[in-house]
A and B are shown apart, each in its own frame.
Chain A
Amino acid sequence: MLTDLRVAVLIAAKDLRQRLRDRSAILVSIVAPLGLAIIFSGLLGNTTAFHARYVVANLDGGQLATVLRKDVIGALVTVKVADVTDAATRDEAIALVTDGKADAAFVIPAGFTAAINAGQGATIEIAGARNATLETEVARAVAQRFGDGVVSVQLAVATAAHLKGAPLDGPATGAIVTAAAAATPAVNLTDDVARLRQLSMATYFSASMAILFLFFSAQIGIVSLFDERRAGTLARILAGPIRPWSVLFGKLLAGFAMGVVSITVLVTATTLAIGADWGPPLGVALIGVTAIIAAIGISTLVASFAKTGESAGAAGSAVAITLGVLGGSFTVSSQSPDSMATIALFTPHGWFLRGLGELHGAGATAADALPAAGVLLAMGLATLALGLVRTRKLVTAR
């Protein structure tokens, strides 16, 4: 066992020496992802922090509408995620959005408070700018959450009145609803904003480029197995006093080491160069290591269908880019349609970014990365097992 491990380490060390001597490997593993992360975060750096411009047309002016305007929408100003201005009419509010002076408009219709006090339905209109998807979604979520709270209170009031056998009068009901609405959103709004917290652009693009290019680094070991077979060095190694599995293990170890070098350099360099905030080191290490295992597993499985080093490399690259596109390496996930977010969950890229995102919640610790790390590990081990079963033919006697 020790001998097998020694052989694997020897092969991995030799591979690493070759790869580091080969400048293309350094280019793919370090220079390209680092360069792209810097370029993307530089180009999109202005959108790093979420900040919206809202306009409110309060056409009602009643108690409940005032609560929505001041306590709920106004809270966005308090937590510094939005600027809010007021418009006298619906048309004025819409015009501000159309002219690009506001990202979205809240239109509170006349009769809003009275309708709710009477236990009836009311509508808050949200009008968003075409290029402000995220800001509009936030506005819609705020309004929705407010509405949910109002409905809950209406239901509670109706239930209490039914039990007492005497319905409350309109003003009394309105007072309860207003008080509840004023109290509830203060808590819920904070929760909403926390849920929408995302990685900064610098961190996001550093991470997405890291996972994208990790696949190129991780496949170096397994692809070199084909190259060694063609060059005859694999046969020479296998003619020695070693077990075939130790060769495979050595190749995987080389890919793992290359992945660790790549991720470590990227995390350090992007932190220092562009201020990326990856999160708690232990959590980042957990996500990083499991992502490397996933990348090696998938690369091994893909390579197992190839016949030459060239085809293994090409297939691995195609899969890496496809998974990168589906997993959100090229688009900010919070601005993607729900369907894309769902598809991303089938890719290690998606879980890698999600895991890092979990490390950025309020009071987040390394433990918050465990679910994503678990998924990445499972993906890696499953594909690795399949890949090794298929790849063993390369190192066993004919």
Chain B
Amino acid sequence: MTGEPQAPVVLSVRGLRKRYGDLEAVKDVSFDIREGETYGLLGPNGAGKSTTISIVCGLLRRDAGEVTVDGKPIDTGAVAAKAGIGVVPQDLAIYPDLSARENLTFFGRLYGLGGARLKSRIDTCLELVGLADRANERTDHFSGGMQRRLNIAIGMLHEPRLLLLDEPTVGVDPQSRNAILESIAALGREGMAVLYTTHYMEEAERLCDRVGIIDAGEIRAEGTRRELVALVGQRDEVRLTATGDLGAATKAVGALPGVGGAVVRDGVLELVVDDARGMLPRLLDAVDKAGATVRGVDVVQPDLEAVFLHLTGRALRDAS
């Protein structure tokens, strides 16, 4: 794209499919992640993000498709190839009755680390996630945010080529979330390939070099933030702060020609429209006739939230 030599592909996913009975959880998912790249899978709960990650790290059988890490195939029987993968599961996966250092020592040794290198890596990771001064405390004495940070430290301890993070900030306070995002951004800068799943648009925008928007098991669009926003085209995002019958108002404006999507969230009608300036009188009129009163109007530049709305007709957070 830029003419410069591209970094090598670390993770390649091709035509991935997984079905649970009648539900097709993953439908023909394909994407690549290059060295030093952070790739986000952005989508609501149940979109197929965790299933995709479970298949990529060999914990779940796939029905079809291919996964390679540095060219080596990954499946449920793979052993050596999995040494290059680090996993940070969505739910905490640490031993509460062991200290942070003991947790790291155990998982480090599982990945073949030992001696001075293990100690050095443990110290580095504890420092990176801000737990160096609590290293010898049992983790059941940690706050939720600290446990989350240790959860991440375990995943990156053995310096994997590919780090898989499955919604690592769910349920974390803003301060810890910030620390976690800083840590992950640092990993990308060090050359690690990162697959990051989230349903937080802000995280995807802040962390990821490229984002795949996934819904109902399908990647609906993929690209950089700029590329994705371009999908919305010349459209504008209009936010109407209103009172009254917002349900009826949403239905009314959604039916107007030129409106690409309409949802209501926290008393605000969010709309993607072709031309905000030209359509505004008709929007206000429709809202008024539906029995609601507009208190404020904002026209904003589209973001990934607007892209999701544009692609699926639903708001990302409502879908979550």
Please report A residues at the B interface, Cβ cutoff 8 Å. 7, 10, 14, 17-18, 21-22, 231-233, 235-243, 396-398
Contact = CB atoms under 8 A, between A and B. Distances in A.
Contact of B60 (A7, A18, A236, A397): A397
Contact of B57 (A239, A242, A243): A239
22 contacts: A22-B97, A231-B92, A231-B95, A232-B89, A232-B91, A232-B93, A233-B94, A233-B95, A235-B93, A236-B89, A237-B110, A239-B58, A239-B85, A239-B87, A240-B82, A240-B107, A240-B110, A241-B80, A241-B83, A242-B110, A398-B60, A398-B61
Given A231-B92, A239-B82, 12 more contacts: A7-B110, A10-B110, A17-B98, A17-B102, A18-B98, A235-B89, A239-B57, A241-B79, A397-B58, A397-B61, A397-B76, A398-B61
Contacts of A7: 110
A45 to B, nearest CB: 40
Contacts of A17: 98, 102
Grouping DSSP codes into helix (H, G, I), strand (E, B) and loop, the B interface class, with mixed when no group exceeds half, is loop
Nearest to B138: A21
Given A241-B80, A241-B83, A397-B58, A236 B93 contact: yes
A241 B93 contact: no
B154 A236 contact: yes
B300 interface: no
10 nearest CB pairs, A to B? A397-B76, A232-B93, A241-B83, A236-B93, A239-B87, A239-B57, A241-B82, A232-B91, A233-B93, A240-B110
Grouping DSSP codes into helix (H, G, I), strand (E, B) and loop, the A interface class, with mixed when no group exceeds half, is helix
Contacts of B85: 239
B106 interface: yes
Contacts of A396: 76
A243 B106 CA distance: 16
Nearest to B62: A397
B109 interface: yes
Contacts of B89: 232, 235-236
A241 B98 CA distance: 22
A22 B111 CA distance: 26
B112 interface: yes
A10 B106 contact: yes
B59 interface: yes
Chain B interface category by residue count: 20 to 34
Given A240-B82, A240-B111, A241-B82, A235 B95 contact: no
A344 B30 CA distance: 62
Nearest to A21: B97
A26 to B, nearest CB: 14
Contacts of A22: 97
B9 to A, nearest CB: 21
Contacts of B102: 17
B98 A232 contact: no
Contacts of B109: 10
Interface in B245-301: none
Contacts of B111: 240-241
A236 B87 contact: yes
B80 A236 contact: no
Nearest to B84: A241
A279 to B, nearest CB: 38
A7 B83 CA distance: 14
Determine which residue in A10, A22, A233, A396 has the highest number of CB atoms from chain B within 10 A of its CB, and name it. Answer: A233
Interface in B106-144: 106-107, 109-112
Contacts of A231: 92-93, 95
Contacts of B59: 235, 238-239, 397
Contacts of B91: 232
Contacts of A397: 58-61, 76
Contacts of B98: 14, 17-18
B150 to A, nearest CB: 12
Given A18-B95, A18-B98, A231-B93, A236 B107 contact: yes
A228 to B, nearest CB: 9
A235 B82 CA distance: 13
A239 to B, nearest CB: 4
A46 B264 CA distance: 84
Nearest to A236: B93
B147 to A, nearest CB: 12
Contacts of B58: 239, 397
Nearest to A10: B109
B19 to A, nearest CB: 12
A22 B82 CA distance: 32
B95 to A, nearest CB: 6
A396 B77 CA distance: 9
Contacts of B92: 231-232
A82 B94 CA distance: 65
A237 B111 CA distance: 9
A243 B83 CA distance: 12
B97 to A, nearest CB: 5
B164 to A, nearest CB: 8
B161 to A, nearest CB: 13
A17 B138 CA distance: 13
Contacts of A10: 106, 109-110
Contacts of B107: 236, 240
Nearest to B83: A241
A14 B103 CA distance: 9
Nearest to A13: B106
A242 B60 contact: no
A241 B106 CA distance: 14
Determine which residue in A22, A232, A236, A238 has the highest number of CB atoms from chain B within 10 A of its CB, and name it. Answer: A236
Determine which residue in B89, B91, B93, B94 has the highest number of CB atoms from chain A within 10 A of its CB, and name it. Answer: B93
Interface string B24-66: 0000000000000000000000000000000001111100000
B166 to A, nearest CB: 11
A7 B113 CA distance: 12
Given A14-B106, A235-B59, A236-B154, A243 B79 contact: yes
Contacts of A243: 79
Nearest to A22: B97
A243 B80 CA distance: 10
Determine which residue in A237, A238, A243, A397 has the highest number of CB atoms from chain B within 10 A of its CB, and name it. Answer: A397
A255 to B, nearest CB: 18
Contacts of B95: 14, 18, 231, 233
Contacts of B97: 18, 21-22
A214 to B, nearest CB: 24
A42 B146 CA distance: 52
